[in-house]
């Protein structure tokens, strides 16, 4: 008989192997039983303590944030912060460009801007602007605008000419006697000039008011500043009378 034609006889029965297989199945069932008890799917076996089932975690109550914290995270605060950053950037850019290109401040029509005391950096304008502003500021009793037209030396000379201690005191003394110019002055600046003398007698001083004397201008940055002062007496205006008609 060929080998592939042999009958398929089962292996002989072994009681010991059968016993070991049944013990293995019982052990697996015991492990599965313990696992189901731990998960709370089955009650504990008799004589065993109950297996505690941990409670499901509860979400912690949310704490109420203070109002200022809510404001910091709000859209309004972010917009304000962005606006402040933009303003600061623009201000820094303008200052940087002014320093790089040496741009002098423009006259705003309110008078010459700058400090009013000695040792403060002034920002004057052209002589005709300075004289018009000076008379108007003194007539209004505004020492800040008036005295910003002078250098420390010029302010001291102006105060000494009128017998007072400083420029603000001179403005206070002259206020009742001075009026704004009736017309804007026209002061020519010679080419290459380093000093300009401006006599108040040549300005359009209102009749019956005080003339403020001679002002000495010197260059200051890209403009001019009053660096000296002298007193003067203006000749009265001459009047001519018409002769008899024939």
Query: Hey, what are 229's tokens?
Result: 């002062």
Domain spans of the chain? 121-230
DSSP-assigned states of every residue in 197-232: EEEGGGS-PPTTS----EEEEEEETTEEEEEEEE--
Residue 52 has, within 13 A of its CA and on its CB side, a CA count of 3
Helix (H) or strand (E) holding 92: helix 75-101
**Cβ neighbours of 110 (radius 10 Å):** 11
Nearest to 160 by CA among 169, 149, 172: 169
Sequence-separated (6 or more) residues with CB below 8 Å from residue 51: 37, 38, 40, 44
Query: What does the radius of gyration of the chain's CA atoms come to, in whole angstroms?
Result: 51
Query: Hey, what are 156's tokens?
Result: 């001291």
DSSP-assigned states of every residue in 2-39: -GGGS--PPPPP-HHHHHHHHHHHHHHHHHHHHHHHHT
Strands of 223-230's sheet, edge to edge? 196-199, 214-220, 223-230
CA distance 149 to 112: 6
| pLDDT of the chain, 246 residues: tens digit per residue | 555 555 555 556 577 777 777 777 777 777 777 777 777 665 555 555 555 555 666 666 677 777 777 777 788 878 888 888 888 888 877 766 655 444 444 444 333 333 334 334 444 688 999 999 999 999 999 999 899 999 999 999 999 999 999 999 999 999 999 999 999 888 888 888 899 999 999 999 999 999 999 999 999 888 899 999 999 998 876 544 444 444
């Amino acid at each position: 008989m060929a080998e592939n034609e042999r009958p398929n006889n089962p292996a002989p029965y072994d009681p010991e192997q059968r016993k070991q297989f049944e013990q293995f199945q019982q052990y697996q069932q015991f492990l599965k039983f313990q696992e189901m008890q731990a998960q709370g799917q089955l009650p504990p076996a008799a004589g065993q303590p109950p297996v505690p089932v941990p409670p499901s975690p509860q979400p912690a109550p949310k704490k109420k944030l203070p109002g200022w914290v809510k404001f910091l995270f709000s859209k309004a605060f972010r917009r304000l912060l962005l606006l402040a950053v933009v303003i600061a950037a623009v201000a820094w850019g303008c200052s940087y460009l002014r320093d790089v290109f040496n741009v002098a401040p423009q006259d705003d029509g309110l008078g010459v801007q700058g400090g009013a005391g000695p040792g403060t950096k002034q920002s004057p304008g052209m002589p005709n602007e300075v004289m018009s502003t000076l008379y108007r500021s003194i007539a209004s009793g505004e020492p800040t605008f008036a005295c910003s037209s002078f250098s420390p030396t010029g302010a001291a000379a102006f105060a000494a000419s009128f017998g007072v201690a400083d420029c603000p005191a001179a403005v206070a003394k002259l206020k009742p006697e001075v009026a704004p110019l009736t017309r804007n002055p026209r002061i020519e600046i010679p080419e290459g000039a380093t000093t300009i003398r401006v006599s108040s007698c040549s300005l359009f001083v209102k009749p019956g008011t005080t003339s403020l004397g001679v002002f000495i201008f010197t260059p200051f940055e890209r403009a001019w500043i009053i660096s000296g002062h002298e007193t003067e007496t203006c000749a009265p205006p001459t009047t001519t009378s018409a002769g008899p008609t024939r």
